[in-house]
Chain A
Amino acid sequence: MTTSLLTDAIDLVAVLLLGLGIKGLSKVRSARGANQLAAVAMALAVVGLLIDIQPGPLAWLWIAAGSAAGGLAGLVTARRVPMTAMPEVVALFNGCGGLASLLVAVGVALFDSAEADIVALVSIAISVFVGAITFTGSIVAMAKLQGWLDTPAWTQSSVRHAVNIAMAVLALVGAVLLPGDPAGLPLWLLVIGSSLLGVGVTLPIGGADMPVVISLLNSYSGVAAAAAGFVVGSQLLIVAGAMVGAAGLILTQVMCTAMNRSLVSVLFGGALGAAGASVGGGGSEAGYTRITSCSPEECAMALEQAERVVFVPGYGLAVAQAQHALRELSKLLENHGVEVSYAIHPVAGRMPGHMNVLLAEADVPYEQLLEMDTINPEFPRTDVVIVLGANDVVNPDAKSDPTSPLYGMPVLEVDQARQVFVVKRSLGAGYAGIANALFELPQTAMVFGDAKAVLNGLLSELRSMGVGKTKVAA
């Protein structure tokens, strides 16, 4: 490990900036600058390493090829991806990071392990194990979020534990035998066992819990990077990987708390609801007896009369890409003198914080997005609440019914408002597959339809009533 003094200095600065970057990312005001700071730190680290290792012409050629391909693909993906697909893309990026660590470890094991000591070999085993799980787990998470993969029935039975344990044993056998024959069969046992384990662990997890899984896998990719740091002997890599690994773990914990789920139940409980005994198969509509439904016209009339309106956007809004229509509707109402705000549940959207991103994209002022603790006391003095494609996060059972699987989850107390309209495509169950008592309350009316279509219907109804005469600039 001959490191030049200059590289040492650069590395220290890079670690400092990375730390400041992660810290700054947790505050709204500093987040954007912090992200750029982290990017600069990364560039510094790369430059520092290149100064230190002085690659030859052949190495430069391969570095240029790899950088050009990866960098360009990253640029294109980042530009093209719609905001609604953000969870999938983070999963995809994360999987590629894991794959990179996996490849490094496999490369060293295959071709550079002749005089590797036991520390290096253990590091290789860990790097392969964590890297492979991160890679396949992230890809499965992405495919499930994209709707390319369903949750196969067998993964909801206890068979999956047996399968996963078998895979873990396979990987473990590979890891234990690896030092004896680093480039042979044990390596492939380890690669295959860990890869399949990543698939087997992620596949049974339901869509609602996927953000937690992505966050956890993100933490793993930090661990994989730290392990790769041990393999190639880079302290900077170890620090940065450990930092991301630990920070990712904290973030995962924060997300679990917001959803009232324990990490253990997310990982081993299977899809929520499917595991619960009381739930009928596949989003059955039975169980609801006192549903009132109404047309967009009636809903528009209620809005026209209201003084204070709260929107509760959820997953359905994101799917219908209706955030711009929602913004237009709220502008119209504001021009009419209605006080409008948005109630954001910590896990609204498809990932915690995702809804804020989507609404910010539609130009909703940041001050109108109210978090759960702020908005809950306000519901009793709210005239109309419109729930757009949210379900479990407004379920009053979570507070009142100890037998509900949701019991204890913090929810938006929309049942306190004078009138509630729930815009929903059908009475199918939510992510969690649980009936929602809100729908049967006397003050609730269902407006069936796609969120975007309903919102546009409301817009034209309100306009024909003459609400917000002064045309709102688009």
Chain B
Amino acid sequence: MSALSQALWVLLLGSLLGLELIGKVPPTLHTPLMSGANAISGITVLASLTLIQKAGDNQALLLIGALSLGFALYNVVGGFLVTDRMLAMFRRKGDS
């Protein structure tokens, strides 16, 4: 039960941190911020990896794990790159 309460504490503190991190956002950054936060939510790759590890030699579970890893990584890689592309355009002067 202590593992659970520990996890709940982590959940609570993480949520509070998230609420505090973003106070004022200039409208310019709404779209990149959403896209960046979206990439971070692909952190569920960790769950996919754990699932694959736990699968042992269960082919069906391995397949589900790999599928979920693929989708999560699509979110992560695509999300970070797209955010970077958007933010790269905000440079004041420089080569386009």
| CB pair A246 B87 closer than 8 Å | no
Chain B: residues with Cβ within 8 Å of the partner, total of 84
| CB pair B36 A254 closer than 8 Å | no
Q: Of B19, B71, B86, which one neighbours A96 at CB under 8 angstroms?
A: B71
Q: Of B41, B64, B71, B82, which one neighbours A225 at CB under 8 angstroms?
A: B41
| CB pair B76 A42 closer than 8 Å | yes
Q: Does A218 contact B (CB under 8 A)?
A: yes
- When distances are taken between beta carbons in the complex, the residues of chain B under 8 Å from A87 are 31
List which B39-96 residues lie within 8 A (CB) of chain A: 39-55, 57-58, 60-90, 92, 96
In the complex the two chains form, what is the Cα distance from A221 to B38 in whole Å? 8
List which A86-143 residues lie within 8 A (CB) of chain B: 86-87, 89-90, 93-94, 96-97, 99-104, 106-108, 110-112, 119
| CB pair B19 A249 closer than 8 Å | yes
In the complex the two chains form, what is the Cα distance from A36 to B84 in whole Å? 8
- When distances are taken between beta carbons in the complex, the residues of chain B under 8 Å from A235 are 6-7, 10
- When distances are taken between beta carbons in the complex, the residues of chain A under 8 Å from B17 are 19, 239, 242-243, 246
| CB pair A74 B77 closer than 8 Å | yes
B35: min CB distance to chain A, Å: 5
Known: A96-B71, A353-B28, A353-B29. A90 touches B38 (CB 8 A): yes
Q: Does A293 contact B (CB under 8 A)?
A: no
In the complex the two chains form, what is the Cα distance from A27 to B22 in whole Å? 10
Q: Does A341 contact B (CB under 8 A)?
A: no
- When distances are taken between beta carbons in the complex, the residues of chain A under 8 Å from B19 are 246-247, 249-250
| CB pair B7 A230 closer than 8 Å | yes
Known: A96-B74, A100-B71, A246-B19. A32 touches B27 (CB 8 A): no
| CB pair A53 B78 closer than 8 Å | no
Known: A79-B81, A94-B38. A19 touches B27 (CB 8 A): no
In the complex the two chains form, what is the Cα distance from A18 to B58 in whole Å? 34
Q: Of B32, B34, B61, which one neighbours A214 at CB under 8 angstroms?
A: B34
A460: min CB distance to chain B, Å: 25
Segment with Cβ contacts to B, from A281-289, A360-368, A413-421, A450-458: A360-368
| CB pair B64 A106 closer than 8 Å | yes
- When distances are taken between beta carbons in the complex, the residues of chain B under 8 Å from A228 are 44, 47
| CB pair B47 A225 closer than 8 Å | yes
A32: min CB distance to chain B, Å: 4
Q: Does A472 contact B (CB under 8 A)?
A: no
- When distances are taken between beta carbons in the complex, the residues of chain A under 8 Å from B86 are 83, 86, 357
| CB pair A240 B14 closer than 8 Å | yes
| CB pair A251 B25 closer than 8 Å | yes
| CB pair A59 B53 closer than 8 Å | yes
List which A260-298 residues lie within 8 A (CB) of chain B: none
A216: min CB distance to chain B, Å: 10
A472: min CB distance to chain B, Å: 15
| CB pair A371 B38 closer than 8 Å | no
B6: min CB distance to chain A, Å: 8
Residue of B nearest to A225 (CB): B44
Q: Which B residues have a C-beta under 8 Å from some C-beta of A?
A: 3-4, 6-7, 10-19, 21-55, 57-58, 60-90, 92, 96
Q: Which A residues have a C-beta under 8 Å from some C-beta of B?
A: 1, 18-19, 21-23, 25-28, 31-32, 34-36, 38-39, 42, 45-46, 49-50, 53, 55, 58-59, 62-63, 65-67, 69-71, 73-75, 77-79, 81, 83, 86-87, 89-90, 93-94, 96-97, 99-104, 106-108, 110-112, 119, 214-215, 218, 221-222, 224-226, 228-251, 254-255, 258, 344, 346-347, 351-354, 356-357, 360-361, 363, 365-366, 369, 371
4 nearest CB pairs, A to B: A246-B18, A242-B14, A74-B77, A70-B73
